[in-house]
Structure 1
């Protein structure tokens, strides 16, 4: 997807049906990425996040990929990223969502960020797992970037000019259990860029309003790619 600046390396895992791990090299950052449909693995990831950020609640990048059918129950993956840690939770294949993850998403002290993410809330709420996100911010809308793509914002705000998010990957088969390396990279970069953009933009914002209550989401998620 980004052969020069962004690469993905799979790790050997003793039980890949339980979880798979990857290192996504994003420019100079090595992102440890966990891909799983196992509730206990997702629970451990959330507990680790809470422990390492127990003194300050972080910005969290959030993304959702959907099933190609576009049915009401179409959320296939939920990806979260903080710093250099990313979780890709395969909602289409999990038997349950752990309470720790539900509490994190519903915590009104935690803000989740994305770009043109109006569809994400609806996809999560209408999934079979009925996930609720208390505070979800569209960075493009909040900071006046209009229809700018995530790639354009990455170049302007972060100076990352080699980010490519191919349309065909965005609409690929995300309910496949064995997601490809390209899909893993796409989902990870989506959540990581949301996190990085939030850190760059939100930390410079003198306004204490996080924008959660004032957002009216676009129903079609236009401008996402």
Structure 2
């Protein structure tokens, strides 16, 4: 299943398609834009909720802090080039540490540890989708599954995760279209798999 950039709004928000879903996605290295995005998230989800979380930290085998942070709530995603950010807003510290939100992903505890080590960001509440899927579906082998396999099991969608994109230079100042689509769909798929498992919609 191909992921495509369908268009762009006047405010710079991209529309990215994933299967039958369209995701409004903000790509930025601006702390002010992150602040705005989080403000909109709190306006519509002031009681908390589920958040898809992922990070990219390559180039492959080169140590260093997280280069890109992706979060997704419903059909709204943020792709934050945190390595090149002018500043990391206090709102992001508050959002990640807000116990009303549960951050879900594959290997999400490792991602949280990288954010803590690189930027002092604390993620208060995390749930690994592998464990959640294994427990919810009663299939212990899913504890070793990747996101691609979980998307197939839970959503029935064949997710593309090209190897050349996964190991690409995520510290680039400008992400390629393929990197952008990869980053967006990883965060959205994490959210949607988590939502369906919690809601019994699988």
Taking structure 2 as the reference length, what is the TM-score of the superposition?
0.88
Question: How far 1:100 moved relative to its partner?
Answer: 1.1
**Greater mean deviation of Cα atoms: 22-31 or 142-151:** 142-151
Preserved contact between residue 29 and residue 82 of structure 2 (Cα < 8 Å): yes
Q: Equivalents in 1 of 2:107, 2:163: separation in Å? A: 15
Q: Equivalents in 1 of 2:9, 2:100: separation in Å? A: 37
Match for residue 146 of structure 2? 149
Question: How far 1:135 moved relative to its partner?
Answer: 1.0
Decide whether aligned partners of structure 1 residues 204 and 11 sit closer, same or farther in structure 2, where only a CA change above 3 A counts. Answer: closer
- Confirm whether residue 125 of structure 1 aligns to residue 116 of structure 2: yes
- Confirm whether residue 183 of structure 1 aligns to residue 174 of structure 2: no
Match for residue 52 of structure 1? 44
Q: Unpaired runs of 5+ in structure 2?
A: 135-141
Match for residue 42 of structure 1? 34
Q: Equivalents in 2 of 1:164, 1:147: separation in Å? A: 19
Taking structure 1 as the reference length, what is the TM-score of the superposition?
0.80
Question: How far 1:95 moved relative to its partner?
Answer: 2.5
**Greater mean deviation of Cα atoms: 31-40 or 137-146:** 137-146
Preserved contact between residue 61 and residue 80 of structure 1 (Cα < 8 Å): yes
Question: How far 1:101 moved relative to its partner?
Answer: 1.2
Q: Equivalents in 2 of 1:169, 1:22: separation in Å? A: 19
Preserved contact between residue 116 and residue 141 of structure 1 (Cα < 8 Å): no
**Greater mean deviation of Cα atoms: 190-199 or 137-146:** 137-146
Count, aligned residues: 193
Q: Equivalents in 2 of 1:12, 1:158: separation in Å? A: 28
Match for residue 26 of structure 1? 18
Decide whether aligned partners of structure 1 residues 48 and 147 sit closer, same or farther in structure 2, where only a CA change above 3 A counts. Answer: same
> Structure 2 residue aligned with 1:158, among 155, 159, 173?
155
Higher helix share: 2
- Confirm whether residue 135 of structure 1 aligns to residue 125 of structure 2: yes
